[in-house]
Structure 1
């Protein structure tokens, strides 16, 4: 049995195109409805104290940020690989819970999430979550129909393959990458170089057996140690790429037992 994504059937391809066309036709009405809701909400907010209004606006922004991070940092990479997280609603609840832990402005989220959820009104919220997740992937993901993946399997099924693919690309074009690192190019060049270097270092850390990939509901894919604590590898990579200071990165690599002379194996094979 093939493990790859299932090819789209003609009927499925037509229905997806039709759904996207309907969404396009609804854009104007959706924008109008959004403006009307905003006007109504603003009118209702006038009697409130300015401090309460500011807090409410901040919390709306934080809720939007939680959804945006979940979709762009976790759902989109999975869709690219032909996989779809099967519980987006559960994921956004985790994201908002984590947001309430990190940000004092989101404290009210934690209190509300502890109350009885509205999903209790559904006959089978798990099935509904799976259907909503499938619908989102069907509309926004390009290519064949993605296969479902549970959040528990996400690190192994999505994060590690993405890191290793980037590491292979980096290894295959190392001369070009070094040129990108040395020249004063666009910010996108440095960002791309940092992403690929992150993948190479992450693969080396995974191969030691001391690190593993994990899901951070706000930051996306992260590298964690045996205690489950996330490593701030992005900062070390940024200092190496943007500031030209690779000493902290080399120190951390030596600390986990990786000599910087040791080759990295993007496919996970032993030396």
Structure 2
């Protein structure tokens, strides 16, 4: 193995050869740009030697010279955009050595065992993945710090859920092949090929940016076309180069915790499943209410523990929880978890970059009361506002919003009533969302290096249909009635989100009777469900 850890494996040879193929694309592009100038030089040299003189030669000489100047100017413009364009920077939570000295020590010890350069810094991402990221571009200078040198090792980005769910030994095993990738990053040919491809990608993004003036749009149109052509030419060899790098890094890492890494990869898949459920079922309802759970990474442990309890395929995984968790490598895990949770809300929902009056954190202990109950009553209030707009009369009996009013409207007027109500709710939700101004970017926003893409960058779910919204709102109204008249309480299910608890047990059988009402106009199953639990649909409920 070489001093950089990038040895003579088949993957290393393949990566180097593919890197040279990428650089040959750059060389050919340069040769094409210089070809007219070379022809002009030959013509002028022939004239000086007395071999290419006369009217036709003079005209050709000046025509080629003018064409060469134009080509050189265009090539210089394209090259300037490629060099100056800032490659997209992954939104992350920066992790200084003071905030995680033990984690830095673990990564450096791992790099020493692998005989590769240690990453220059660490960062966290609210996702179940880890990678190396080159941040040596001048635009990627650390805020308030000095410019990073082009020879620095890349930054190691670690998925924050890994730190809370994985044990220290498992994290080291999972990071081994990632850290081993610092060796090819130090190879000059591979580093140059990567810089060229990233520059092309950034230039394409600059050319496609909206809001350009007519002259600038025409100029950038030529730049965009040229860089896209070069990028397509590089696509195949660049992909093969990265596969070779991954193969070489994996082979390099086999000497470190190989057996444990096989087991740890199972934890990666489990963590991804739990993280996805936590975001879509638990965090998303809170984000829609203007609240963001401040301990998402800690919540993923509860979600995965619950998944292990329910899924026999995950049995035995919770027995690891007695070992030291990787989050112990952080000095202040709570503060890091809060920062990662806020970034997750920004990436996946488009929330503001900072907490505020309309965007406040919520603890898991407060979630049932401040998110679940508030969500139900807000949706129930919206449901009755739409019924008022449609001219639906109130139900007979006590004054106030009742569940009976909803049941009578949906069951007494056929499928058309459900479609009309669903359309009204969808329009009301759209009006409320349109009234919310887009969150501004602050100077310390982690997305400042990403570009001008609209938020959220990674939507968790497609927009809900009218039927889905109707079912959600009817469910919310039923839950409000159960809480106000039958002693039920709002709760939190780590895998399914808001839950209705009756006598301390979650009722998961509400979806079917609600769908019978909203889809078929049949209220009998829901009335039977309400009667069994002692819910009084004719009683008014408290709304927001």
TM-score, structure 1 length as denominator? 0.70
Of residues 115, 118, 121 in structure 1, which corresponds to 2:326? 118
Query: 1:168 Cα shift?
Result: 1.2
Partners of 1:58 and 1:264 in 2: how far apart? Answer: 50
Partners of 2:272 and 2:386 in 1: how far apart? Answer: 38
Query: 1:41 Cα shift?
Result: 7.1
Partners of 2:322 and 2:417 in 1: how far apart? Answer: 48
The equivalent of 1:96 in structure 2 is: 304
Higher relative contact order (CA 8 A, sep 6+): 1
Of residues 366, 370, 394 in structure 2, which corresponds to 1:157? 370
Matched, 1:128 2:365: no
Query: 1:78 Cα shift?
Result: 1.8
- Encode CA deviations 1:35-66: one digit per residue, 9 max, x unaligned: 77699779x8xxxxxxxx9x998765443221
Task: Assess if the C-alpha contact under 8 Å between 1:96 and 1:109 holds in 2.
Answer: no
TM-score, structure 2 length as denominator? 0.37
The equivalent of 2:471 in structure 1 is: 194
1:173 match: secondary structure = helix
User: How many residues align structurally?
Assistant: 234
| Distance change >3 Å, CA 41–CA 93, structure 1 → 2 | farther
The equivalent of 1:23 in structure 2 is: 90
| Distance change >3 Å, CA 242–CA 96, structure 1 → 2 | same
| Distance change >3 Å, CA 37–CA 249, structure 1 → 2 | farther
Query: 1:263 Cα shift?
Result: 4.6
- Encode CA deviations 1:146-195: one digit per residue, 9 max, x unaligned: 21111000111111111111111111223598435268x99933222211
Query: 1:102 Cα shift?
Result: 0.8
Query: 1:252 Cα shift?
Result: 2.0
The equivalent of 2:541 in structure 1 is: 265
Partners of 1:163 and 1:246 in 2: how far apart? Answer: 20
Partners of 2:308 and 2:417 in 1: how far apart? Answer: 39
| Distance change >3 Å, CA 74–CA 239, structure 1 → 2 | same
The equivalent of 2:381 in structure 1 is: 168
2:500 match: secondary structure = strand
Task: Assess if the C-alpha contact under 8 Å between 1:70 and 1:92 holds in 2.
Answer: yes
Partners of 1:188 and 1:102 in 2: how far apart? Answer: 30
The equivalent of 2:507 in structure 1 is: 230
Partners of 1:126 and 1:199 in 2: how far apart? Answer: 33
Partners of 1:61 and 1:238 in 2: how far apart? Answer: 33
Partners of 2:301 and 2:517 in 1: how far apart? Answer: 35
The equivalent of 2:79 in structure 1 is: none
For structure 1, list consecutive stretches of 5 or more residues without a partner in the other structure. Answer: 1-20, 45-52
The equivalent of 2:351 in structure 1 is: 142
2:366 match: secondary structure = helix
Partners of 1:166 and 1:61 in 2: how far apart? Answer: 35
Task: Assess if the C-alpha contact under 8 Å between 1:98 and 1:217 holds in 2.
Answer: yes
Query: 1:68 Cα shift?
Result: 1.2
Query: 1:138 Cα shift?
Result: 4.3
1:258 match: secondary structure = coil
Matched, 1:181 2:407: no
1:22 match: secondary structure = coil
| Distance change >3 Å, CA 205–CA 110, structure 1 → 2 | same
Partners of 2:473 and 2:242 in 1: how far apart? Answer: 39
Deviates more, 1:216-225 or 1:69-78: 69-78
Structure in which a larger fraction of residues adopt helix: 1
